[in-house]
Structure 1
Amino acid sequence: ACGAFAVSRLLCAPEYPTWEELRYFLQHGSRHRALRKDEELNHIHWATNRRREIPLLMALAIDHRSQLTDIADELGVPHARINAFKRLAVAAAARVGQGRDGYGMLIDERFGREAFFDAAKKGFSWIGRPVELPGSRPLRFEFSQDIGSQLVEWPVDHCIKCLCFYHPDDPDHLKKEQQQKLRTLFEAARRVGRELLVEIIAGKHGRLDDDTIARALQELYDLGIKPDWWKLEPQHSALAWKNIEATIAANDDYCRGIVLLGLEAPAAELEKAFAATTVAPSVKGFAVGRTIFAHAAQQWLSGQMTDEAAIADMAGRFEELTRAWLRTRGL
């Protein structure tokens, strides 16, 4: 049976099934004679061959582009300064993480190429990078709509992050266009062997009820889109988190989990949002940006803050959030 898997996938030893994958096949079989076309088996193979476990993730997100260019334009400073600021953010995150497991970063290619090089030396557990064109709705990819050709050049341990402003009550034509784009991205991610984080923000374009995000996730799962991670906005109730938890559990036993986004909320509000997720074990941490870097960005880009002061400011805010998160988990 193991040899048949490899032959069907037209490859060799890397395509041998894991025990979980083989057990599923022996119990359920497959509708496909060519097993490489069986999406369920392919998903189990992918998920059970991930490179490392990440049970906790606390990430400083510095992949913002339009927000930082807006600040630079307001201050009349060249956009090239943003590149240097992002390197300071890496230094701040590294100062807090100190090479320990569970710390990560989101960095963009447009302004963060040097920051990527710095981050590679800091021992982060996770590095994500965005592919969406900032603010696009319907979703568009940055640089090129041929997303596969972009991803193939990435380091294998970089996780794709895609923000989509998606609400389950959106008009059908908008939903279908965005769903198609996310499905294209999911297929490309699997084809090139990169993990995928899908960030869904619904509250900016409609009501955020107890079932809103759960409905959005179910619609994407119904299309066969199974990202490794979800990044979601804070919810207003425990029931909303329970609905999200149930949706993930019903559709993907192998999902790595959820990270919480910040939307520039004050740290005190984020601490409350962290505490509200205790009913949802799938929430593994957070990836927050402006709450951490907004003050330093304004001050440093305007020339009123030194490099060290900016690093210290961001490190202090990041550490405050990491401690708040760990408290909610009794760690």
Structure 2
Amino acid sequence: MAATEQPLDLVTIGRSCIDLYGEQIGGRLEDMASFAKYIGGSPTNTAVGASRLGLRSGLVTRVGADHFGRFIREQLIREGVSTQGVRDDDERLTALVFLGIRDPDTFPLIFYRENCADMALDDADIDPDFIRSAGAVLINGTHLSRPNVFDASVHACRIAREAGARVVFDIDYRPVLWGLTGKDRGENRFVADDAVTARLQQVLPLCDLVVGTEEEMHILGGSTDTIAALRAIREKTAALLVCKRGAHGCSAFPGAIPDRLEQGVTGPGFAVEVFNVLGAGDAFMAGFLRGWLRGEPLETACEYGNACGAIVVSRHGCSPAMPSWEELQQFLADGARPCRLRDDAALEHVHAATTRAGTWDELTVLAVDHRSQFEALCEQVGADPARIAGFKALALKAVDRLAQGDPRFGVLIDGRFGMRGLEAAADHPYWIGRPIERPGSCPLEFEGDADVATELLTWPANHVVKCLVFYHPDDPADLRERQERQLLRLQDAVRKTRHELLVEIIASRNGGVGDDTVSRVMQRFYDLGMRPDWWKLEPNDSALAWRNIERAIAGNDPYCRGVLLLGLSAPEGELIASFQAAASTPIVKGFAVGRTIFAGTASQWLAGEIDDDAAIADLSRRFAVLVEAWRIARAQVGVSNVSEVV
């Protein structure tokens, strides 16, 4: 079976851990105060990078039966990496690595890998059918440092070769993981050792591709002279040898080793500022394999590898920094890119938009993020505002009763009164939105911490940041400018905290609304550099208005997730009537409606006229009416739904 006919292009084998990256840059690891959590480990990073580039990848490893092991598994699924080969280890914990960015040449690491799950991998964990399902298998030098993982890696290689697949060897030399240096010297990349050289060379006859830095070629070849090391390697394998040379790019050697590295098939490097070299080699491997496994010329594979490495050295983290295929193409096409790549706003937007998890062709959301409106309801019925939290927790139960785990449903809940609902939502697969604006503020103000980024750092990563702005294109210039500054602050914050952003526009409060009013507001925001993941817009029965909105999005951000309709407390029948015009516009994915659904129910429950079960049933019923109406409207314009309302 040819590699292109197999279910997977690549299976990687070995390390899988949690990377805890220091968020303070330029200091000692001792002085770092907070850490960002990512999945890590060289073969895990490569599997993620390969998937983002369009290869069908899978991973063989062990993780602890713990919170971090579950995070690794969940993140791999989000990244499109097959977890068929990931085993839970009930006796060992998931490995950890603490990493820091001191300066362009210093990256302190501490490996917490004593008796960890992935180093317990053994022959029994290798599923022959899973290995045979791939066109290539990648093994990793670190996983040759213990007899059990060495045997597992070699076993997988032999299965792959018997199946006609190719074997890739990433030398990935970490002396500390071979016990050759102190545990506080995790960043040390080279210690000569004859025993390590002999162990690594045992796998060379099985290999079709060997990739490493010059230092890694030194340990594999047993010489600190790079050419001599490469020739020693060549004596033991006919594999393609690729030597990574950092800023100088790479040199590939399909045959005899020449006298100089430059005489190989070379791929020049890219001039970018080095921010963080950690993970660059894994990105190089993913990029090179994207070309090599798809039959591209060797020069192209080198170019892909060098470009992916250059992108990753400009960012924080390893796996999250891996580029997507769309991003790689944009990088290669843009000869005017800045040296400080993180300043390339267009590239950063493509990265964020093409690496976020999930897609929604339909999204129906119960919005109970209202705060002042609930306080007003309590005043009307004489209820204690402390009861608001209880009702918002019931709203989530109402969504779950209807949705029954269907991820096309969502909730929009605030953190002031709805924290219990937000906490409970963590155990469900639903879309979660959360407001950041101070209720009714115009000009826009943010709720919570005085610094919006500091506030968002306290929010779980899967909370979509929703911001309502009362904005009309004919507002006074000073009002528009104040609100625009706030929105730009918010966008900068969500990019740094890696949250998604939903911008809700209500123009009708400040002036008349015509067919181009909302699209003019959106275009103004786009011109300022705003690129929200979602828009939430007022209902409108004008087909022309929706065409203008769709053109604004298509012309400025083809990666936009879509538009949700808001309700503005419209009567149920009026809101349903407005669905028809919106449903014919593909960019509109559904709605996020609140008071139309909950107002009557909330009033009765807060007044003590109905109990919890009755409130849940009534909310679920009212929500179902709108969901069914939306799906009927979509069906009438030729957009089918996967399933009916539960």
The corresponding residue for 2:562 is 257
Structure 1 position 321 matched with structure 2 position 626: yes
Structure 1 position 50 matched with structure 2 position 356: yes
Structure 1 position 210 matched with structure 2 position 515: yes
Cα pair 2:363 2:409 within 8 Å, conserved? yes
Partner-residue secondary structure (3-state), 2:575: helix
Deviates more, 1:69-78 or 1:91-100: 69-78
- C-alpha distance after superposition, 1:183-203 (max 9, x if no partner): 000010000100000000001
Query: RMSD value over aligned CA atoms?
Result: 1.1
Structure showing greater Rg: 2
**One-letter amino acid of the counterpart of residue 173, structure 1:** D
Cα pair 2:584 2:634 within 8 Å, conserved? no
Unaligned runs of 5+ in 2: 1-306, 636-640, 642-646
Structure 1 position 21 matched with structure 2 position 327: yes
TM-score w.r.t. length of structure 1: 0.97
Higher RCO (C-alpha under 8 Å, 6+ residues apart)? 1
**In the TM superposition, what are the counterparts of 1:240-319 in structure 2 within 5 Å?**
240-319=545-624
TM-score w.r.t. length of structure 2: 0.50
Structure 1 position 75 matched with structure 2 position 378: no
- C-alpha distance after superposition, 1:14-44 (max 9, x if no partner): 3232110111122233441111110000000
Cα pair 1:61 1:289 within 8 Å, conserved? yes
**One-letter amino acid of the counterpart of residue 496, structure 2:** R
**In the TM superposition, what are the counterparts of 1:113-192 in structure 2 within 5 Å?**
113-124=419-430, 126-192=431-497
Cα pair 2:413 2:435 within 8 Å, conserved? yes
- C-alpha distance after superposition, 1:286-311 (max 9, x if no partner): 00000110001111111111111111
Within 1, Cα distance between the matches of 2:531 and 2:335?
A: 21
Cα pair 1:131 1:161 within 8 Å, conserved? yes
Within 1, Cα distance between the matches of 2:607 and 2:336?
A: 61
Cα pair 1:210 1:236 within 8 Å, conserved? no
Within 2, Cα distance between the matches of 1:11 and 1:201?
A: 38
**One-letter amino acid of the counterpart of residue 380, structure 2:** E
- Which aligned runs of 4 or more in structure 1 are off by greater than 6 angstroms? none
Higher-helix-fraction structure: 1
* Number of residues of Structure 1 aligned to a counterpart in Structure 2: 330
Cα pair 1:9 1:34 within 8 Å, conserved? no
- C-alpha distance after superposition, 1:104-160 (max 9, x if no partner): 000000001111122222331x10000000000000001233000111111111100
Deviates more, 1:269-278 or 1:42-51: 269-278
Deviates more, 1:163-172 or 1:17-26: 17-26
**One-letter amino acid of the counterpart of residue 552, structure 2:** T
Deviates more, 1:85-94 or 1:172-181: 85-94
Deviates more, 1:166-175 or 1:8-17: 8-17
Distance 1:10 1:293, change over 3 A: closer
Within 2, Cα distance between the matches of 1:130 and 1:96?
A: 23
Aligned-residue identity in percent: 52
- C-alpha distance after superposition, 1:215-273 (max 9, x if no partner): 00000001111000000001241000000000000000100000000011111111111
**In the TM superposition, what are the counterparts of 1:194-209 in structure 2 within 5 Å?**
194-209=499-514
Partner-residue secondary structure (3-state), 2:528: coil
Deviates more, 1:9-18 or 1:283-292: 9-18
Unaligned runs of 5+ in 1: none
C-alpha deviation, 1:169, in angstroms: 0.7
**One-letter amino acid of the counterpart of residue 136, structure 1:** S
Cα pair 1:262 1:288 within 8 Å, conserved? yes
The corresponding residue for 1:37 is 343
Higher-strand-fraction structure: 2
Structure 1 position 5 matched with structure 2 position 336: no
